[in-house]
Amino acid sequence: MDTNALLHVDKIARSFPRPGGSELVVLDDVNLTLQDGEIVGLLGRSGSGKSTLLRIISGLSPATRGQVSYLGQTVEGPANGIAMVFQSFALFPWLTVLENVQLGLEALGLPQKEIRERSLKAIDLIGLDGYESAYPRELSGGMRQRVGFARALVVHPNILLMDEPFSALDVLTAENLRTDFLELWHEGKLPIRGVILVTHNIEEAVLMCDRVLLFSTNPGRIMSEIRIDLRQPRDRQDPAFMAMVDRLYAEMTAKRLEAAQRPGRFGAGIGTPLAPVSTSLISGLIEAVAATPYEGKADLPDLTADLQLEVDELFPVAEALQMLRLAELEGGDIKLTHMGKLFAEKDTNGRKEIFSRALVTHVALAAHIRRILDERGSHKAPKSRFLDELEDYMTADAAEETLRAVTGWGRFAELFAYDDETEMFSLENPQ
């Protein structure tokens, strides 16, 4: 263990007990070291446990196994010198900008004069001089996040933790804040020694971080660690930059491909958790990939830039397509299969047919629901029956989501009907 490290995360695991004895594992065997002067990025999709890891590091949540040591001491609760910046800014609406920034110092019990001086300096540093007596409701999103930064910086933390700090901002403001932050960081004007940044935006990770740790989902594990050696300030148009982005896309999709092709461990495969993806997104993505200039095969970074999508929006759809064998993900590309190309050409009825066949063949849960409905005399089955069955394989929330996903797809394919008021699946059309 490198004793000079700022932070050392050692075999951290976090799991929740499930009714029935088994455990839901959110984080598994995570190791990470933060050195002085570096920005480490945690990159992964939502649900990969990266925010949980951040909360464990900051002492807000306990870990089930493993330990975090900060400057040589074990972290057991919120520690002095670790400050956090939040995705939704987390400003107190009833306090002015100055009062918000002062809060951390007041909690430390410093003398009033020093509190005021330091706060005013911090506000000046992040560029909000003149807004001290404004309330958060009077500020735009970007300004609110600046207040969030000021509040975190004013306590002179050693480590700054950032939980998707720019994802709630529009593209221009986010870029503005990022470059401002990087400038201050590289000029040494920030009183911090290390940064951990959680993000689901691949370009942001490449722009800001010295090292990126890729997270997998279910359970959250570190898939790989990639060092980004590009010189600051980094240029998005630089071919080396774009190559690095491509590499990250490839890494993220490759691991997922492996996981998806693992032979199903759960009986008839109905235990695979699914994310609800609307059929219009599915149709839309197929159409986009089929059209010019891609003609059926698209480079993922290009596609996301073109469609203005985030990783969190694109990957679920792409994976749904992969599951239905309408497209394939290889390297950093998405390629339509023969069925997918047919889908793009047909009209609505034709698409429903293709979709219906794909659903029954490749999504075990949909076929299962249809089979149960066919077998029963009344051709009706309550939602709770399937929920109970799914809860043998996953948590209640995941079961709810999976069933919702299949319900949406089943309705589009006209495979079965669902009435939300009586919570019943049936083979009838509504009266």
Partner 1 sequence: MRYRLLLPQVSMSSRYLPSRWDMLAALLVLGFIVLFASTSQILLEPLAKLEITPISLSPWALPEYAIRTSLRMLIALCASLTFTFTYATWAAKSPRAGSLLIPLLDILQSVPILGFISITVVFFLSLAPGKVFGAELAAVFAIFTSQAWNMAFSFYQSLRTVPEELSEAGKLFGLNAWARFWRIDVPFGMPSLIWNMMMSMSGGWFFVVAAEAISVGHTTVSLPGIGSYIAAAIAARDMHAIGYAILTMLIVILIYDQLLFRPLVAWADRFRFDQEDAEDRPESWALTMFRRSNLIGALSVPLVRFIRWSYRLSPPARLGKRSRQRAEGPLGNILWYSIVVLLGLLAFWETARFVGPISLSDIFRVLGLGLVTLIRVSVLIAVASAIWTPVGVIVGMRPRLARIVQPVAQFLAAFPANLLFPVAVSVIVLFRLNPDIWLSPLMVLGTQWYILFNVIAGASLLPRELRDASTNFGVKGWLWWRKVALPSIFPFYVTGAITASGGSWNAAIVAEVASWGNRTLHAHGLGAYIAGATAAGDFHRIVLGIAVMSFLVTIVNRAFWRPMYQYAERKYRLG
Total number of residues that touch partner 1 (CB under 8 A): 29
Asked if residue 93 binds partner 1 (CB under 8 A), the reply is yes
Q: Minimum distance between the CB of residue 58 and partner 1, rounded to whole angstroms?
A: 6
The alpha carbon torsion through 104, 106, 109, 115 (nearest 10 deg) reads: 100
Q: Are 57 and 9 in contact (CB under 8 A)?
A: yes
Asked if residue 279 binds partner 1 (CB under 8 A), the reply is no
Q: Rounded distance, CA 194 to CA 209, Å? A: 11
Q: Rounded distance, CA 90 to CA 223, Å? A: 31
Q: Which of 94, 112, 117, 350 binds partner 1 (CB under 8 A)?
A: 94
Q: Rounded distance, CA 148 to CA 134, Å? A: 14
Which helix (H) or strand (E) is 159 found in, with range?
Answer: strand 159-163
Q: Which of 23, 36, 76, 106 binds partner 1 (CB under 8 A)?
A: 106
Q: Which of 41, 104, 220, 316 binds partner 1 (CB under 8 A)?
A: 104
Minimum CB distance to partner 1 smaller for 30 or for 155: 155
- The pattern of x and - marking residues 38 through 77 that bind partner 1 according to CB under 8 A reads -----------------x--x-x-----------------
Q: Minimum distance between the CB of residue 309 and partner 1, rounded to whole angstroms?
A: 22
Per CB under 8 A, contacts with partner 1 among 155-184 are 155
Q: Which residue in 204, 201, 212 sits closest to 181, CA to CA? A: 204
Structure tokens at 50: 């990266």
Minimum CB distance to partner 1 smaller for 263 or for 377: 377
Q: Rounded distance, CA 182 to CA 359, Å? A: 47
Asked if residue 84 binds partner 1 (CB under 8 A), the reply is yes
The span of 13-21, 82-90, 209-217, 255-263 binding partner 1 (CB under 8 A) equals 82-90
Asked if residue 281 binds partner 1 (CB under 8 A), the reply is no
**Sign of the dihedral through C-alpha 280, 368, 268, 27:** positive
Q: Rounded distance, CA 251 to CA 224, Å? A: 8
Q: Which of 5, 83, 197, 358 binds partner 1 (CB under 8 A)?
A: 83
Q: Are 53 and 245 in contact (CB under 8 A)?
A: no
226: left (phi over 0), alpha (psi -120 to 50) or beta: beta
Asked if residue 80 binds partner 1 (CB under 8 A), the reply is yes
Query: Which residues in this chain contact partner 1 in the complex, by CB under 8 A?
Result: 55, 58, 60, 78, 80, 82-84, 86-90, 92-95, 99, 103-104, 106-108, 151, 155, 421-424
